[in-house]
A and B are shown apart, each in its own frame.
Chain A
Amino acid sequence: MTDDHRVGSADDAPLDQAIRRMVGALVEAAPEPPPLPTPGVTPAPTPTHEQDRRRWSAVAAAMLLIVGGVGWWMAAGDRDPVQPVATEAVPVAHQAIRWTQEVELPCEGGAGAGTTAIELELWVDVAGERVRQQATYADGAVRNQIWEGSQDHPARKFERGSSSYVAPTCPRWGAAAVDNTPGMMGRLAGPGPDLTPGDSSGRRIAVPGEHTDEIGRSAELVREESEGTAQLDDGGPAGSVPFRQTLDWYLEPGTGRLLQSTFRIELEGVYTVTTTTVVLADEDVAVARASFDTDGYELVYEAPAFDGRHATAEAVEPTVQVGPDRYWPSDPTAGDDPETSARRFATEVLGWTGSEVVTAPGPDDGGAWEVTVDDRRGHSVELTFVPIPGGWELLRIDSGIIDSSIAPDGNTQLDLPFPVGTTELVVEGHLDPGGRRAWRATIEAATAGVILPETTDDPMKLLILLYRDAEGRTIGAATVGGGRLRDPSTITTEAPGS
Chain B
Amino acid sequence: MADISPEVAATVAALSPQQRAVIFLTYWEDLDVRAVADLLDVSEGTVRRHLARARSKLREVLR
Q: Do these two chains really belong together in a complex?
A: yes
The interface of chain A, by Cβ under 8 A from chain B, is 1-2, 5-8, 12, 15-16, 18-29, 53-54, 56-61, 63-65, 67-69, 72, 127
Q: Is the CB of A67 within 8 A of B12?
A: yes
Whether the pair B32, A6 counts as a contact (CB closer than 8 A) is yes
Which chain B residue lies CB-closest to A8? B55
10 closest A-B pairs by CB: A60-B24, A57-B21, A67-B9, A60-B21, A25-B2, A5-B32, A61-B20, A61-B17, A18-B62, A64-B20
Give 13 new A-B contacts, CB below 8 A, not counting A7-B26, A60-B21.
A19-B62, A22-B2, A22-B8, A22-B12, A24-B28, A25-B3, A53-B41, A57-B40, A59-B24, A60-B20, A65-B13, A67-B8, A68-B4
Question: Closest CB-CB distance, A60 to chain B, in whole Å?
Answer: 3
A26 B58 Cβ-Cβ under 8 A? no
| A255: min CB distance to chain B, Å | 13
Q: Which B residues touch A69, using CB under 8 A?
A: 1
- Contact partner of A12 (CB less than 8 A), chosen from B13, B18, B55, is B55
Q: How far is the CA of A25 from the CA of B3 in the complex (A)?
A: 7
Contacts of A56 in B (CB 8 A): 21, 25, 39-40
Contact yes or no, A26 B40, CB < 8 A? no
CB pair B4–A67 under 8 Å, yes or no, is yes
Give chain A's interface secondary structure class.
helix
A135 to B60, CA, bound (A): 47
Give the complex CA separation of A327 and B18 in angstroms. Answer: 40
**CA of A319 to CA of B12 in the docked complex: distance in angstroms?**
55
Q: Which residues of B sit under 8 angstroms from A63, Cβ to Cβ?
A: 20, 24, 28
With a cutoff of 8 Å between Cβ atoms, the chain A residues found around residue B41 in the complex are 53-54
Please state if A25 and B58 are interface contacts (CB–CB under 8 Å). no
Decide if the interface of chain B is mainly helix, strand, loop or mixed.
helix
Assess whether A19 is in contact with B23, with CB atoms less than 8 Å apart: yes
B12 engages A54 (CB within 8 Å): no
Per the CB 8 Å criterion, the residue count for chain B at the interface is 35
B: which residues have CB within 8 A of A?
Answer: 1-4, 8-9, 12-13, 15, 17-18, 20-29, 32-35, 39-41, 44, 48, 51, 55, 58-59, 62
Residues of B within 8 A of A61 (CB): 17-18, 20-21, 24
User: What's the least CB distance linking A23 to chain B, in Å?
Assistant: 4
Contact of A27 among B13, B28, B32, B34 (CB under 8 A): B28
| A66 CB to nearest B CB, Å | 9
Chain B residues closer than 8 Å to A72, beta-carbon distance: 13
Contact of B33 among A7, A22, A67 (CB under 8 A): A7
Given known pairs A6-B32, A26-B12, the reply for A64 and B40 (CB within 8 Å) is no
Q: Which residue of A lies closest to B47 (CB)?
A: A7
Contact A5 B44, beta carbon cutoff 8 Å: yes
Are B4 and A15 closer than 8 Å at their CB atoms?
A: no
Q: How far is the CA of A15 from the CA of B48 in the complex (A)?
A: 16
Q: Identify which of A8, A15, A21 contacts B2 (C-beta below 8 A).
A: A21
